[in-house]
Structure 1
């Protein structure tokens, strides 16, 4: 994984998560703003999948558990579309909050993926 790209993903995920939670608690239903934040996050996760496939081929192999890394990555990539689908089916203020919680979970998962990729084996 690439540190700067990881930081961008974590910042975008945290910002989208906080925005959705604030909007939801303020009574706003899912809108282009809240769904757009999660769409941007999903694009970054798709780019991360490409990076994770290419990185070992160019000399940046993971030093941690590859299986654990891919489980985190696939799970993180599934969270934004699942939460948006749920929010669009149940258009309430709480579905916007759920999108925010999913985005914050992705931020934590991306940071954990970075730790798995760069773990130093003693």
Structure 2
């Protein structure tokens, strides 16, 4: 993993999550802004997948469990898609809150993936 890209992903996911949570708690239904923020989080995760596949060829290998890392990554790729699907099916304020929760969960998952990649497991 690339450290600056990890922190970019975490920052974008936290901002998107807080935005969606705030708008949802204010009673806004999913709109282009909230869906776009979630799509940006998903796009960055796809970029992380590409980086994670290419990094070992450049000498940046994981020090932790690759199985655990890729399980987190595949799970993280599914979460925003599932939340967006929910938001499109049930267009209520709570769907916007779900988008926010999904983005915040992605921030935590990306940070954990960074730990797995860089910190030697015990």
- Fold agreement, TM-score > 0.5: yes
Structure 1 ranges of 4+ moved more than 3 A: none
- Structure 1 gaps of 5+ residues are none
What are the within-5 Å matches in structure 2 for residues 8-27 of structure 1? Answer: 8-27=8-27
| 2:34 is aligned with 1:70 | no
TM score, norm. by length of structure 2: 0.98
| 2:106 is aligned with 1:106 | yes
CA distance in 2, matches of 1:95, 1:41: 17
RMSD (Å), alpha carbons? 0.9
Name 1:38's counterpart in structure 2: 38
Q: Matched residue of 2:28: which SS?
A: coil
Q: Could you tell me how far 1:81 is from its partner in structure 2? A: 1.0
Q: Could you tell me how far 1:58 is from its partner in structure 2? A: 1.1
CA distance in 2, matches of 1:27, 1:118: 41
Tell me how many residue pairs correspond in the alignment. 122
Name 1:54's counterpart in structure 2: 54
- Structure 2 gaps of 5+ residues are none
